[in-house]
Amino acid sequence: MIEQHFAPERRRRLTIKRGKERVVSNRHPWIFAGAIHAEHGPEDAALADLVDPEGNRVASGFYSRHSQVRLRGLTFGGEELTPELIRKRVRDAVRRRGHVFRDGTTNCGRLVHAEGDDLSSIVVDRYDDVLVVEIANRGVELLRPLIVETLREELSPRGIYFKNDLPVRALEHLSTEGEWEGEGEPIANVLEHGLKFRVDPGEGQKTGFFLDQRENRQLARDLSANKRVLNLFSYTGAFGVYAAAGGAASVENVDVSAPALEMARTNHELNGSEATYTIADAFQYVRRRDGSEFDLLICDPPAFAKSRHDVERAARGYKDVNLFAMRMISPGGLMMTFSCSGHVDLDLFQKIIFAAALDAGRRVSFVRRLSAGSDHPVSIYCPEGEYLKGFLLEVR
Ligand code: SAH
Tell me the per-residue pLDDT of 84-101, one tens digit each, with 9 for 90 and over: 999 999 999 999 999 999
Task: Give me the mean pLDDT over the 6-13 stretch.
Answer: 97
Contact indicator for 127, 159 with CB cutoff of 8 Å: no
pLDDT tens, 101-117?
A: 999 999 999 999 999 99
94: CB partners within 8 A, 6+ apart: 111, 112, 124, 151, 154, 155
| Mutate which of 203, 213, 255 for ligand 1 pocket (most atoms within 8 A of beta carbon) | 255
Ligand 1 neighbourhood includes 284 CB (under 6 angstroms): no
Atom of ligand 1 nearest to the CA of 231: 1
Does the pLDDT value for residue 306 go beyond 90? Answer: no
The one-letter amino acid code at 33 reads A
Atom of ligand 1 nearest to the CA of 257: 15
Q: Is 292 helix (H, G, I), strand (E, B) or coil?
A: coil
* Residue 23 pLDDT: 84
Ligand 1 neighbourhood includes 255 CB (under 6 angstroms): yes
* Main-chain dihedrals φ then ψ at residue 58, nearest 5 degrees: -115, -20
How does 266-286 read in b/e, with b if 16+ C-beta sit within 10 Å? bbbeebebebebbeeebeebb
The one-letter amino acid code at 293 reads E
Percent of the chain with pLDDT over 70: 100
* Residue 307 pLDDT: 84
In this prediction, residue 292 has a pLDDT band, given cuts at 50, 70 and 90, of confident
Task: Give me the mean pLDDT over the 14-18 stretch.
Answer: 96
In this prediction, residue 27 has a pLDDT band, given cuts at 50, 70 and 90, of very high
Distance CA 118, CA 169 (A): 20
Ligand 1 neighbourhood includes 213 CB (under 6 angstroms): yes
Task: Give me the mean pLDDT over the 63-73 stretch.
Answer: 96
Contact indicator for 257, 282 with CB cutoff of 8 Å: no
pLDDT tens, 47-57?
A: 999 999 999 99
pLDDT tens, 122-137?
A: 999 999 999 999 999 9
Dist. CA 257 → ligand 1 center (Å): 8
pLDDT tens, 307-352?
A: 888 899 999 999 999 999 999 999 999 999 999 999 999 999 999 9
Dist. CA 235 → ligand 1 center (Å): 5
pLDDT tens, 350-380?
A: 999 999 999 999 999 999 999 999 999 999 9
Task: Give me the mean pLDDT over the 63-74 stretch.
Answer: 96
pLDDT tens, 135-146?
A: 999 999 999 999
Percent of the chain with pLDDT over 90: 94
Ligand 1 neighbourhood includes 259 CB (under 6 angstroms): no
Does the pLDDT value for residue 72 go beyond 80? Answer: yes
Structural element, H or E, at residue 287: none
Ligand 1 neighbourhood includes 256 CB (under 6 angstroms): yes
Atom of ligand 1 nearest to the CA of 239: 7
Does the pLDDT value for residue 291 go beyond 80? Answer: no
Ligand 1 neighbourhood includes 233 CB (under 6 angstroms): yes
Dist. CA 260 → ligand 1 center (Å): 9
Mean per-residue pLDDT over the chain, rounded: 96
Paired with 59 in beta bridges are 50, 76
Greater confidence (355 vs 77) lies with: 355
H-helix segments, 40-161: 83-96, 98-101, 138-142, 144-155
* Residue 78 pLDDT: 82
Dist. CA 362 → ligand 1 center (Å): 25
Mind telling me the catalytic residues?
A: 340
Ligand 1 neighbourhood includes 257 CB (under 6 angstroms): yes
